[in-house]
Structure 1
Amino acid sequence: MARELQKIIVMGLGYIGLPTASMLATKGHTVVGVDVNEAAVNTINSGRIHIIEPDLDILVRSAVNSGNLRASLVPEEGDTFIIAVPTPFKVEGDNPKAPDLSYVEAATRAIVPYLREDNLIILESTSPVGTTELIERIVREARPELAGKVHAAHCPERVLPGHILRELVDNDRIIGGTTKAAVAKAKALYKTFCNGAILETDSKTAELSKLVENSFRDVNIAFANELSVICDKLGINVWETISLANRHPRVNILQPGPGVGGHCIAVDPWFIVSSAPKEARLIRTAREVNDDKPHWVIERVRAKAARFKEPVIACLGLTFKANIDDMRESPSLEIVQHLRGAQIGEILACDPNVDPAKAPFPLTDLKTALQKADILLLLVDHEEFMDLDRELIKDKVVIDTKGVWR
């Protein structure tokens, strides 16, 4: 049976929306990507990209040149509407980590005038439990004649920056609908480009499952980060300790670092805490451990800097993980920003993956940083830092938060 090609409106053209829109367009669907950033819209329509992701430029150029993908500032009528917008934090009462659903709500209200009977709305944004039902409620209140006639599903993204295109195709996908009909319609669409298994459930379970995936990793990383603090106090090498412990057949401890960043692991656990604040004790504690790790790193730098009269401190890495340009929720960026305001010496920031025009402060090239620094603070294990000639750093004071120079 031939595949049914659709007109798809993708709301949000960031790290998830743009790859998804491009992938769907290359499979023959007509795709309109919508974003509030006019510069991004113009860039995409010229066949170029405004973010860094391996091979995405090739995919976008192909999709645009085929005529199946175009970008716009406003939505229009279609068959399926995919919402892939940010879900950050906001301050709510005494909670500084409350989920901010304003972008999801705004995207939903933007598409409401264009909805027709039997349309499908898919929420890809990682969201608190009940957000898919919230979308249905917004539609029902604005267009009561469509009550029960528009389908809604949650299909959370599960991709790793730097490997997005491969994982979009190969990873298993969870599809949770508010009705069985919504699940069936969403499944048919994702099967046009997904090779992984399609796992069916209800919308609330799908929402929680995505949050649980990242919370599990956050708890494991918190264990490793807490171990690193304990080992430092006891004068023990944490990486050797973890390596030895992991030789046990049922132990798999992750690696410590300067904290936890990114748009998922550093954010999603708080959505669970907000939904069940009294019950999510372990999840909350893990978040607090990981949120505190940058402050511990800063104090280590202070202690080392006190040995010098006018220390030069080179901070290597600003992104939240290696070999990407993404600085969202980055603990490395937080550390460097704090050090720059701490007046403990001259701070040099180096990151070969970050566009200097997008950096919040001036960047220094690696050669200059190595020449001038008294203290080297390794925050991100970019390939450029991994391959350093050890002779260049043998006379430096080294604080290696990733354990790559041990």
Structure 2
Amino acid sequence: MNDRASTSTETRAAAHAAAAVVDVAVVGLGYIGLPTASMFAASGLHVLGMDISQRVVDAVNAGLTPIEEEGLPAVVSECVGNGRLRAATILSPATAFVIAVPTPADHETHAPDVRYVEAAGRSIAPVLAKGNLVVLESTSPVGTTQMLARLLAGLRPDLRFPLDGETNPDVHLAYCPERIIPGRMLQDLVENDRIIGGMSPRCTERATALYRNFVQGQCLASDDRTAELCKLTENAYRDVNIAFANELSMICGDIGLDAWKVISLANHHPRVNILNPGPGVGGHCIAVDPWFIVAGAPERARIIRTAREVNDAKPGYVLEQVAHAVAAASVPNPRIACLGLTYKPDVDDFRESPSLQIARSLAARYPGRVTCVDPFHEALQHAGEPTDGIVFGDLDKVLAESDVVLMLVGHSHFRKTARPTGKSVIDTIGYWRQEA
């Protein structure tokens, strides 16, 4: 950090000193940040939500939610209405800062990308003040909280940070990973236990006091590096278990057995609990986070790497099944229906969705012959995701006109739909297994 840049940051910090201080500033108003900001506001704190998207900021300030989530619209509307929650594209001073930005992995190398965390740190630095708390929630490689502390220390040499044995820092830092899933975010935020990993015992105490404003579950004290690995471990564990089910389903398919029947019978063993297979693994956590462990320990993380490879290969297996069905069809140029494209049922989240990946591949392979049905398809376009030739249609019409039906996501929208007859059906989730 050169002297000129440091002076510039300190000058901007001084300019903010007289501004009104909110209790909490949440950086990133996505699937994690907005519900978290809303819970802080609902607990009685004054909260600023910062996002680089003007569309998101405008929506929140109008009391609207740019994401679909049970109960969230009512909370946001109430908190904006009573003045406890507001949004902006730039930060202002706060007592505590919570970072909830994406931490993707490179699609080719799988290397973790923490540039958004770094950018969040740079946005916080000018408004930091003595006594502040900075919490990182974003799922991150081990050592990211300390990296953030060093970044802030370089930008704000006038403040002391919990680094290199500093026992009396001006700014406290902690890592507190989220444990929520779409569809029950607000409930999970309140009820789930939270790991609070401070860079010092005092940092942990400060962060625990912050989250106690709304968390009813346990706040489990830890250090930052342990907390970072705990979050990665939770998702890697789930990924490994899903990979076992997906691998077993492919083995069963190859030898002509019903994977769900095998799993159901095997699960009668008192110490066996095999998960249900699917078309792959999606979402912002399980499909990404295990690679952070692999990147940090490439020689040791053999099971974790293999599980990721198995789950990443499952969409290709589904595409092979479709190719066989198309080749065996009794009509020329058979039409294909894809039911469900989100990464899990009844949410509007398409991130890392294997079903979306499958639909894109089919649309490219069979142009003009693939139609999809998803009750949340408008969210795909709002998110700016390329549709790559994907065409959406009405459920009944699509089923009537299709020759090959591919069930990918078990939305409740499909609940009353019986297993199609007179067509080739590829049920990747066992949705119609009771009717088969």
Normalised by the size of structure 1, how large is the TM-score?
0.96
Which letter maps to 1:389?
A
> Using the alignment, how far apart are the partners of 1:321 and 1:226 within structure 2?
19
Contact 1:224–1:255 (CA under 8 A) maintained in structure 2: yes
Query: How far off is 1:386 after superposition?
Result: 3.1
1:242 is matched with which residue? 263
Aligned to 2:109: 96
Q: Secondary structure at the match of 1:100?
A: coil
Q: Structure 1 counterpart of 2:192, which letter? A: N
**1: CA distance between counterparts of 2:404 and 2:27?**
45
In 1, Cα distance between equivalents of 2:361 and 2:53 = 29
Q: CA deviation at 1:64?
A: 0.2
Residue 394 of structure 1: aligned partner: 421
- Structure 1 outlier segments of 4+, above 4 Å: none
Separation in structure 2 between the aligned mates of residue 90 and residue 258 of structure 1, nearest angstrom:
22
Whether 1:199 aligns to 2:220 is: yes
How far does residue 177 in structure 1 lie from its aligned partner after superposition? 0.6
Matched, 1:403 2:416: no
In the alignment, structure 1 residue 285 sits paired with structure 2 residue 322: no
1:364 counterpart = 2:393: yes
Asked if 2 retains the 8 angstrom alpha-carbon contact of 1:386 and 1:405, the reply is no
In the aligned structure 2, how far is the partner of 1:28 from the partner of 1:220?
Answer: 40
Q: What is aligned with 1:230?
A: 251
Q: CA deviation at 1:52?
A: 0.5
One-letter code of the match for 1:316? L
Give 1:402 deviation, angstroms.
0.3
Match of 2:347 in 1: 324
SS of 2:281 mapped into structure 1: coil
> Corresponding residue for 1:312?
335
Query: Helix, strand or coil for the counterpart of 2:351?
Result: coil
State how far apart, in whole Å, the 1-side matches of 2:286 and 2:418 are: 33
Residue matched to 1:26 = 42
Contact 1:305 1:345 in 2 (8 A): no
Question: 1: distance between equivalents of 2:191 and 2:318?
Answer: 37
SS in 2 for 1:116: coil
Structure 1 residue 28, shift from structure 2 partner: 1.1
Q: Matched residue of 2:79: which SS?
A: helix
Residue from 396, 402, 406 that aligns with 1:373 = 402
Query: Which one-letter code corresponds to 2:148 in the other structure?
Result: I
Verify the 8 A CA contact 2:370 2:391 in the aligned structure 1.
no
Letter in 1 for 2:73: D
Paired residue total? 397
Contact 2:280/2:312 (<8 A) preserved: yes
**How far apart are the structure 1 equivalents of 2:73 and 2:110?**
34
**What is the CA–CA distance in structure 2 between the aligned matches of 1:68 and 1:384, rounded to whole Å?**
36
Contact 1:313–1:345 (CA under 8 A) maintained in structure 2:
no
Comparing 6-15 and 313-322, the one that deviates more = 6-15
Checking the alignment, whether the CA contact within 8 Å between 1:311 and 1:344 is kept in structure 2 is: no
Q: Matched residue of 2:397: which SS?
A: helix
What's 2:129 paired with? 116
The residue matched to 1:99 in structure 2 has which SS?
coil
How far residue 27 of structure 1 moved from its aligned partner, in angstroms, is: 1.1
- Amino acid of the structure 2 residue aligned with 1:145: D
User: What amino acid is the match of 1:185?
Assistant: R
The sequence identity of aligned pairs, in percent, is: 52
Which residue number corresponds to residue 211 of structure 2? Answer: 190
Deviates more, 1:178-187 or 1:380-389: 380-389
Contact conserved, 1:374 with 1:397, CA < 8 A, in 2?
Answer: yes
Where 2:146 maps in the other structure, the secondary structure is helix
CA RMSD of aligned residues (A): 1.3
Residue pairs, 1:242-261, within 5 angstroms: 242-261=263-282
- Aligned match of 1:8 in 24, 39, 45? 24
Q: Kindly state the Cα deviation for residue 345 of structure 1 after the two structures are TM-superposed.
A: 6.4
SS of structure 2 residue aligned to 1:355: helix
1:344 positional shift: 6.9
Does 306-315 or 354-363 show the bigger shift? 354-363
Bigger drift between 346-355 and 193-202 goes to 346-355
Unaligned runs of 5+ in 2: 1-20, 162-169
SS at match of 1:174: strand
Q: Which residue does 2:72 correspond to in 1?
A: 56
Amino acid of the structure 1 residue aligned with 2:125: V
Per the alignment, in what secondary structure is the counterpart of residue 94 of structure 2? coil
Report the alpha carbon displacement of residue 6 of structure 1 after superposing the two structures with TM.
Answer: 6.1
The residue that corresponds to 1:211 in the other structure is 232
Query: Is 1:147 matched up with 2:160?
Result: yes
After TM superposition, the structure 1 stretch with the greater mean CA deviation from structure 2, 336-345 or 265-274, is: 336-345
Counterparts of 1:71-82 in structure 2 under 5 Å? 71-82=87-98
Q: Deviations over 1:338-370 (max 9, x none)?
A: 111113760001101231643624311211211
